[in-house]
Amino acid sequence: MSINVEQAIIHSISQDGEGQLSCRLRPQPLLNSQAVEAMLEELHQTYTTKAGKGFGHFGISGEDGEANTKFEDALTTYRSGELGFVEFSGIAGKLLQEELSKYDFSTGGFLLLSCYTYMTSDYLFVSLLNAKSSMTVLDDMELSQNTHLDLNNVQLAARIDLTEWQADPDSKKYISFVRGRAGRKVADFFLDFMGCVEGVNIKAQNKSLMNAVEDFVGNSELTKDERQQARERVFDYCTERCDEGASIQIKDLADELADQGVDSFYDFAQGGDYELEEEFPGDKPTLRQLKKFSGTGGGVTLSFDGQHLGERVIYDPVSDTIIIKGVPANLKDQLDRRLKGE
C-alpha cells in the first residue's frame, strides 16, 4: 500500500567559512509531485523497516527539567489551521539551526519535512539528509560528477504519528526516531530540537513478551513440536506487524494463538509480572530469540534453530557443554582439512 503525500519541503542548513551555520528556507512546498512521491515512498519503506528505532513523546528533558515546546507549539498551530505548512517548516528549520549551533561537529544538511497519510494515520516525517557525490557517464562517454540526497543511509530521522498524538496526548510512543549505530544516540540533538523525550522502552517490552511466551508454553500441556509452533507463530505475527509499521497488540496476538488451539495467553500475559503494554512496536532482533539460539564469546559464535534443541543440539548445563549431531557440511569440510593437515 502506497502513501499519500500531502505536503513536503526541503530547507538547507549550511556552514560558512567561519564555521557559522545558517538556514536557507525554501519559500514554497516541493512542486514536482512525481519525484516527491517517489522519494517519500522510498524513505517511508526504508524508515518503516529500520530496526532498533526508539519511541517517545513531547515532554520534559534535560537536567533543567524544562520542556522545549517551540516545535510542538508550532505543530499544534499548523494542525489547527492557523499556520501554513511553509511557515511551520520555516520555524522548524530555524529551531534545528539553533540546536545545531550548540555543537561543533555539525556541518548541516538538508532538512526534509513531509506530511503524508498511510493507511488510516497521518504522519509528519522529519529528517536531516546528507548529500552524496557520485560519478556518472554522459552520452559522449565523458565522466561527470553530481550530487544527490543519500536516501539509503538515513541516520537522523523521526516520524510523528499525528493521529495518535491528537487522539491520545498521554501516549508515550507517538514519536519514533532512528537510533545511532552501535547503541550511540547520535540523534540526541535532533530530538532536542523537537522537544522529544524517550518514552516506551521497546526492547524491554519485547523481552517481556518473549519471556511471557516462553513461560506460557512451558506451563502448557503442549508437545515439544506444538510449543515450537506456538513460538514461531508469535514470531511470524510480530514480524508481519513490524514490516507493516504497525504495533504488536497483545489481544490480537492472543487471538492468533487461539486460532492454533492455544487459549488464554492474554489473561496469562496480563495477569503475570510482565508489565506489558496493551500494544507496542516490535523489535525483530529481540523476538528472533523465539526461533533461534545464538551467542558469541571467547572466540566462539554459535547459532541454531530452536527446533534442534534436544535433538541435533544437546545441551548439558552441568558439564557446560553442547553436542552437535550432524555437523554442517561446510564446517565439517573445514574441520576435516585442518585435522588432516595436523
The length of the chain, given as a count of residues: 342
d(CA 227, CA 211): 14
pLDDT band at 157 (very low <50, low <70, confident <90, very high): very high
* Interval 164-197: pLDDT, tens: 999 998 998 899 998 765 344 556 788 889 999 8
| Alpha-helical regions (H) of the chain | 33-48, 70-79, 85-100, 162-167, 188-194, 202-218, 224-244, 250-259, 265-271, 284-287, 329-341
* Interval 60-108: pLDDT, tens: 765 555 678 999 999 999 999 999 999 999 999 999 998 888 877 667 7
* Interval 256-289: pLDDT, tens: 888 877 788 898 988 878 888 888 888 888 888 8
Q: What distance lies between CA 31 and its chain's CA centroid?
A: 29
pLDDT > 90 fraction of the chain, expressed in percent and rounded:
36
Q: Could you tell me which residues are beta bridge partners of residue 266?
A: none
d(CA 62, CA 95): 17
**Taking the alpha carbons of 27, 33, 36, 37 in that order, is the dihedral positive or negative?**
positive
d(CA 260, CA 48): 29
Q: What is the model's pLDDT at position 1?
A: 65
Q: What is the model's pLDDT at position 161?
A: 96
* Interval 47-70: pLDDT, tens: 988 877 888 999 876 555 567 899
**Residue 323 DSSP class:** E
How much is the CA Rg of the chain, to the nearest whole Å? Answer: 25
Tell me the average pLDDT of the chain. 86
pLDDT of 148 > 50? The answer is yes
pLDDT > 70 fraction of the chain, expressed in percent and rounded:
94
Query: What is the reported pTM?
Result: 0.75
